[in-house]
Structures are given as C-alpha cells and as structure tokens.
Amino acid sequence: MRILFGTVLFLAALALSGCKTLREPDWLQNPKSVYPEASYLSAVGEGNSRQTAEYAASANLSRIFKSHIEATERLIDVASETETHFSRTTQMSSDINILSEETLINIQHAEAWKDDLGRYHAIAYIDRQKTAAIYQHQIDENSRRVQAFLTYADQADSLLQKHAHLRAAERLANETTLLLQQLKVIHSPTAIAAAPPYSIAALKTALSTNGEKIHVAIHIDGDTNERAEEMLKEMITRYGFTVGEPAVLTLQGDVSFTDSGKRTDDLLFYYFNLTVEVKDQAGRTITTITENGREAVTSTEEALPRFFRTLNKAIQENGPRSLDAYFNSLIEQNR
C-alpha cells in the first residue's frame, strides 16, 4: 500500500512538473549575453504565437536601424545648414524608414520560449560579418548597374533616352544609399569599403538638368477656360520637365463635361472625360492619359468645381504614372 501511495505521489509530482514551462532563457532579459553586440544585432519580441513573436522581434530589430539612421540623417542635416552652400538631406528619411522596417537582409530567428501565461517570446538576430558580406555584394552589384545606366545615358541619342537611363540610375543609386545606411549599422568598416564610385549629388544634378531640357507643349480641345491645361502644366513641372517650345513632347487631347440628363430627388449627374495623347517629336504616341467618370452633385453651380477637383487629383496622380511606365519601357527595350 505504501509503495502504491508513493507511486501515486511520484506520478502526481511528475504531472505537475510537466505543466510548468522551461526556465526563462537568458536572452529574454539580456539578448547581448547570448548574442554579443560585437558579433550580432539582436532584439526580442512577443506574441500569441511563435510566428507573431518572431515578427515582433524582427520589427524591434528594425527599430535599431531606424533610430541609428534617423540620428545620422539629423546630424547630416544640421551639418549641411552650416555650409556656405545650403543643402538638406533628410528628404530621404521616409524611404529609409520603409526600407529599414521591411527589407532587412539575413534576419535569423534562433529560439522561442513560451511563458506560464501562454505568451510566446522570440529573438531575432543578424550576424554582423556574414550579413555585411551579403550587403557588400548587393551594393557592388547595384553600383555596377548604376555605372552601366550612366554609360547608356552618355551614349543616348535623344533627351528621352538619356532621361530614362539617368532616372533608372538615380532610383538604383537611392536604393544603394539606403543599403549603405543599413550596412553602417551592421558593420561600419565594410560600409566604408563598399562606398560607390559615383557621386549621387552629381547624378541628381544631371537628371534635373536633362529634365529641364525636355520642353513640353500642351494643346487641349474643349478647355474653354484653360483649367485642364493649367493642371497638366503643374503635373509636367512637378515631373521635372519644362512647359514650352520647341517641344520634345506634346500633350494633345480633349476634355468634356456634360450633363447626363439623369436626376434623382436631390442629385444631378454629370459625365466628365479627359483624353491626352503624349507624343514625341516624330508624332508617335508614346503614352496616353485618360480620365473619365461621373459626378453626382446637388446643383449645377456645384458641378464644375467638383469636376475640376476630381480631374486635378486624377491628373497629378496618374499622369506621372503614365510617364513612369513609358520611361521604364525604354529601359526594358535596352536589356
């Protein structure tokens, strides 16, 4: 009987011990004790599942980059204001934040732990040396492609071809700059060695100068008060081109705003349409900007202002996209 009673107690104790979670890991309160800062970047996160805990750990790891990069950008910005030639560099901060939060390279999730309350805890880390090598390879490859785009731009036989390649070079150079910012946090010596051979400031100047040489003429039928033309001028100017002659590009089209004749008890319905063909110097249509829709208004007096607000929003958003698609297609043709 004593043996049976002792066995029952032993089994009960064993069952109770099985309900307990393992001892809290050392990395939970002090990640650097397990992943030394000299060799790793690390962060801890928690969630209702292992997956959400790992996601939270990755997000917390990205905040290390965000704080480092934002601090660097603020220092550069302050320093630039003291120079005789005033310039600002913090306009890239939003892009840096997005990159640091979404596209960190080589994040590892090694361990997870479940506490007594059922919450999961996970650690994310980056191996500095291994990850620095990956970054350097990507930066070197990007720099090679930027140089190739610049060579194509120098050899281009038209302002449009040159603009397409300068634009592609600038976009890739911006991406490379953001990778370099991350690499400085991961392993500063490698970042210094990976510095690209081109000047991004000179690249941006070349793109801006070439854009100013692209003159654009605008001819819109049905635009009695030239409101649509003014909207298109604003879009073209923001894009970096110049409105005027002799034209490298011509925006030719028509705009209409008509009463549909449809009514409800309290609403009138109007249709609007804008069709603009963007043509090169040879008269070829390279892209088309089309906007159409219906406005529901309470009075005729309300109709035109609503129409122009809707049209302007559409032009400023979709016009640049159409031009972007055209310049991207020029790059694809040369691959």
If asked whether residues 139 and 91 sit together in one domain, one would say no
Query: What range defines the domain where residue 162 resides?
Result: 130-212
If asked whether residues 208 and 241 sit together in one domain, one would say no
Of 99-103, 127-131, 180-184, least confident by mean pLDDT is 99-103
Residue 10 lies in a domain: no
Last residue of a domain, one of 104, 127, 150: 127
- Tens digits of per-residue pLDDT, 128-158? 999 999 999 999 999 999 999 999 999 999 9
Which of residues 74 and 108 earns the better pLDDT score? 108
If asked whether residues 241 and 198 sit together in one domain, one would say no
Count of the separate structural domains present in the chain: 3
Residue 16 lies in a domain: no
Residue 257 lies in a domain: yes
Q: Which residues of 55-85 are buried (b: 16+ CB within 10 A; e: fewer)?
A: bbbbebbbebbbebbbeebeeeeeeeeeeee
If asked whether residues 122 and 139 sit together in one domain, one would say no
Of 78-87, 150-159, 167-176, least confident by mean pLDDT is 78-87
Neighbour count for residue 169 (Cβ, 10 Å)? 25
Q: pTM score, two decimals?
A: 0.77
Provide the mean pLDDT of the chain: 84
Residue 273 lies in a domain: yes
If asked whether residues 285 and 236 sit together in one domain, one would say yes
- Tens digits of per-residue pLDDT, 184-220? 999 999 999 999 999 999 999 999 999 999 999 999 9
If asked whether residues 74 and 120 sit together in one domain, one would say yes
Rounded mean pLDDT, 174-190: 94
If asked whether residues 190 and 111 sit together in one domain, one would say no
State the DSSP code for 24: P
